[in-house]
Amino acid sequence: MLQQFPAAAFAPWSPSIKGAFLGTTERKMHQLPVSMLYFYGSKFGHLYEDACATGRPSIFFCAERRQARVGYNKKKHDAVPQNMDLPPILPKKKKKPYPIPLKKIQEAARADKKLAEKGIEKPLEPPKNGLLVPDLIPVAYEVLDAWKILIRGLAQLLHVIPIHACSECSEIHIAESGHDIQDCCGQTSGSRRSFHSWVKGSINDVLIPIESYHMYDPFGRRIKHDTRFNYERIPAIVELGIQAGVELPEYPSRRRTEPIRMIGKKIIDIGGIVEEPPGPHSFGYSGSSIVDLDTHRALERVPPPVESEVPTIAQETMNAYEKVKWGLRKLMKKYTVKACGYCSEVHVGPRGHNAKLCGEFKHQWRDGKHGWQDATVDEVFPPNYVWHVEDPKGPPLTSALKRFYGKAPAVVELCMQAGARIPYKYRPMMRLDIVVPESEEARLIA
């Protein structure tokens, strides 16, 4: 039974007491305790009264319940949402956004120009001055070691886990059969009603090959269109590791002991031009340790695994994938990597090459030259998102339930199906908390 209050005279509210107010009222002995009631969303706290006095005014103190929950860490709890959409697909008829705001780029250029006008040398720190960063040399070795484990682990898992690739577009799918989602954008997709044309996939469909020119001296002569065949193409991750301090006899790199000097954008002292020593520059070189650093014919080099070892291999591959991403972030904070703003070309070094190989949006205006800008980790090491499959042996995914499916990087999805644990940061984009309805139930869901 709720207590009914008679007309009460409340004391004026004082702004010094936030979230609380004082008041007076009268109550009788047979009434319920006031402390058990709620008044306009606030709970009565302390009640001071004389229990023997009937009809005597009572004083109460009313305050809102704003106690913080014990053990609640808002930053940790809200760090990752329950479900997360993938990054938007950038339009091909537009240049990619700059990773660094354009205002900061212009401010740095104006500061360099002022120093150059006064004849003052540009202050450079390693590795911008051509010297190595000693603290990042172990990180470079860890990245290449993890890169080897990643390639070998994927080659072993592909003997067990089937992968399908569309012969008309870049879509891949990891399951017993290809999905039925109508999102093919190939040349003959109109005749197939946007259904994919599935063929057997390879390791290059999981790890998208991003290659870069290997340069003995990144600050030396710039690669021109006519001299591009004088330089070998190797994985961009390997080239970044070499420039960060990894020693590979097959691909030597110049190690300076004296820093270079620059005024503005002009190099005034490079330490002289040193010719590149001859060597076997080919990933197909027999007996070489660098064969394990490339995905070429990896399935032929690596035998199928034992069935009992598949979950262990999958977990090691997942850990190697995270190690490569972690190392790339650390290395790219110091070492310069350039990417074309229109295509997927990547160049490791302080400045991009001059090879006229870009054929994307308005390449005629640039005479085929690339529009160089700072690269991101996803451009050097693309995640290649694929649809997450809850049951690889179940029915194929359909277009009607497309909005209920999640996505994940191809390496993560492949390792998960092989028995690896899913890192927590990938769970929101995979939408593991969503129950996929039946086809006839989808239209009933708001």
pLDDT tens profile 304-314: 999 999 999 99
Residue 183 covered by a domain: no
Q: With 60 as the cut, is the pLDDT of residue 67 above it? A: no
Comparing 278 with 222, the larger pLDDT belongs to 222
Domain count, the chain: 2
pLDDT in tens, 107-119: 999 999 999 998 8
Do the domain assignments include residue 118?
yes
Least confident piece of the model among 142-146, 157-161, 195-199, 436-440: 436-440
Residues 229 and 371 in one domain: yes
Domain assignment present for 365: yes
Question: 119 in the Ramachandran plot: left (φ > 0), alpha (ψ -120 to 50) or beta?
Answer: left
Domain presence at residue 399: no
Compute the average pLDDT of residues 410-418.
96
If asked whether residues 113 and 59 sit together in one domain, one would say: no
H or E element: which one contains 266? strand 266-269
Q: Is the pLDDT reported for residue 59 higher than 80?
A: no
Q: Are residues 131 and 50 in the same domain?
A: no
Q: Is residue 401 part of a domain?
A: no
pLDDT at 446: 53
Report strand pairing: 337-340 vs 266-269: unpaired
Query: What are the residues facing 212 on neighbouring strands?
Result: 234
- Rounded to whole angstroms, the Cα distance separating 5 from 376 reads 67
* Amino acid 303: pLDDT: 93
Has residue 89 been placed in a domain? no
**Is the confidence at residue 288, as pLDDT, over 70?**
no
Tell me which residue of 321, 402, 428, 337 sits closest to 374, measured CA to CA. 337
Q: Is the four-CA dihedral 14, 15, 17, 18 of positive or negative sign?
A: positive
Task: Specify whether 312 is located in the same domain as 363.
Answer: yes
Cα–Cα distance for residue pair 135/87, rounded to 1 Å? 32
Cβ atoms of 318 and 305 closer than 8 Å = no
Q: Alpha carbon of 321 to those of 36, 173, 207, 231, 327: distances in Å?
A: 58, 19, 10, 28, 10
Mean pLDDT of 244-265: 90
pLDDT of 154 > 60? The answer is yes
Residue 313: give the domain boundaries: 102-147+202-382
Is residue 37's pLDDT more than 50?
Answer: no
**Which phi and psi (to 5°) does residue 86 adopt?**
-75, 160
Tell me, yes or no, whether 269 and 139 share the same domain: yes
Q: Does 121 lie in the same domain as 50?
A: no
Q: What is the number of alpha carbons within 13 Å of residue 206 lying toward its C-beta?
A: 30
Taking the alpha carbons at both ends of the chain, their separation in whole angstroms is: 41
Same domain, 264 and 362: yes
Whether 305 and 363 map to the same domain: the answer is: yes
Q: In what order do the strands lie in the sheet with 20-26?
A: 20-26, 57-63, 42-48, 38-39
Do residues 21 and 133 both lie within one domain?
no
Tell whether 53 is covered by a domain.
Answer: yes
Are 55 and 111 in the same domain? no
Q: Please state the rounded mean pLDDT for residues 351-367.
A: 92
- Domain presence at residue 159: no
Identify the pLDDT of residue 6.
Answer: 47
Taking the CA atoms of residue 49, residue 51, residue 53 and residue 58 in that order, the dihedral angle to the nearest 10 degrees is 20
Tell me the C-alpha distance between 396 and 412, whole Å. Answer: 20
The verdict on 249 and 334 lying in the same domain is: yes
pLDDT digits (tens, 9 = 90+) for 180-196: 999 998 888 888 899 99
Q: Which residues of 30-67 are buried (b: 16+ CB within 10 A; e: fewer)?
A: eeeebeeeeeeeeebeeeeeeeeeeeeebebebeeeee
Let me know whether 138 and 209 are in one domain: yes
What is the separation of C-alpha 69 from the centre of its chain, rounded to a whole number of angstroms?
A: 33
Mean pLDDT of the chain: 81
- The reported pTM is 0.78
